[in-house]
Amino acid sequence: MKGASKLALIMQLTRATGIARRYFVVNGFDGALTMLGMLVGFYHAELAGHTSAPLTVITSACVGAAIALGMSGLSSAYLSESAEQRAALQTLEAAMVTDLQSSAHGVAARLIPVVVALVNGLAPFGLSLLILLPLWVPPQVSTLVAALGFTPLETSMLLGLVVIFLLGAYLGRIGGHGWLWSGLRTLCIALLTGAIILLATPAGAAAWP
């Protein structure tokens, strides 16, 4: 059996495509919402009239959180999926009274946790870095963005809202619901989260020395 055909069979046997897609959306949403929350927190300090944190500090803090989210998603998904796939394989082996370690089911039990873990880890990390892109743009681009009336921090927050909307729209599409309504729902969740952060964080606590 050729590699591509074998992989297709493994994905079919374990329904891995649906599992990976679910992990991508769920953990990608977590990463995007976390980045948005951190950016809103930094922006709150600026709105409160305090000296805003340097972009290098904001970027470092957000990248650190993105790495932590990625590693958490990677390790947790691998451990949980490994246990689930191993248990399912053992149940199947007991039912068939045979060793399936070298079969497609056995290969799937070892391969799928790796695939799912990579998706679960890279989704929040990659989307977080995408949201942070405006903080890394060259000065010429920053000047152009500023001419439009946006700071790099504001641009990152807007990009975060767009990413969250697109994740919701994607969920609506694969779920057979209206993509626009689904995207607007996730967007409302993001806006509500930002509002809660602004209301719950005292102005003094948001200050940057």
Per-domain boundaries in the chain = 3-204
174-192 pLDDT per residue, tens? 877 788 999 999 999 999 9
Identify the DSSP state of 150: -
pLDDT digits (tens, 9 = 90+) for 5-33: 666 666 666 667 777 888 899 899 999 99
DSSP state at residue 52: P
* Residue predicted with more confidence, 7 or 166: 166
Scored b (16 or more CB within 10 A) or e, 136-169 reads eeeeeebeebeeeebbbbbbbbebbbebbbbbbb
Half-sphere exposure of 85 (CA within 13 A, CB side): 29
pLDDT band at 108 (very low <50, low <70, confident <90, very high): confident
CA distance 43 to 67: 22
Q: What is the band of 1 on the pLDDT scale with cuts at 50, 70, 90?
A: very low
pLDDT tens readout for residues 140-155: 556 666 666 778 888 9
Q: In the structure, what pLDDT confidence band is assigned to residue 202 with cuts at 50, 70 and 90?
A: low
Does the structure show a pLDDT above 50 at 204?
no
* Stretch among 41-45, 74-78, 88-92, 167-171 having the lowest mean pLDDT: 88-92
* All residues at 6 or more sequence positions from 93 whose CB lies less than 8 Å from its CB, including other chains: 99, 100
CA-nearest of 124, 126, 143, 156 to 40 is 156
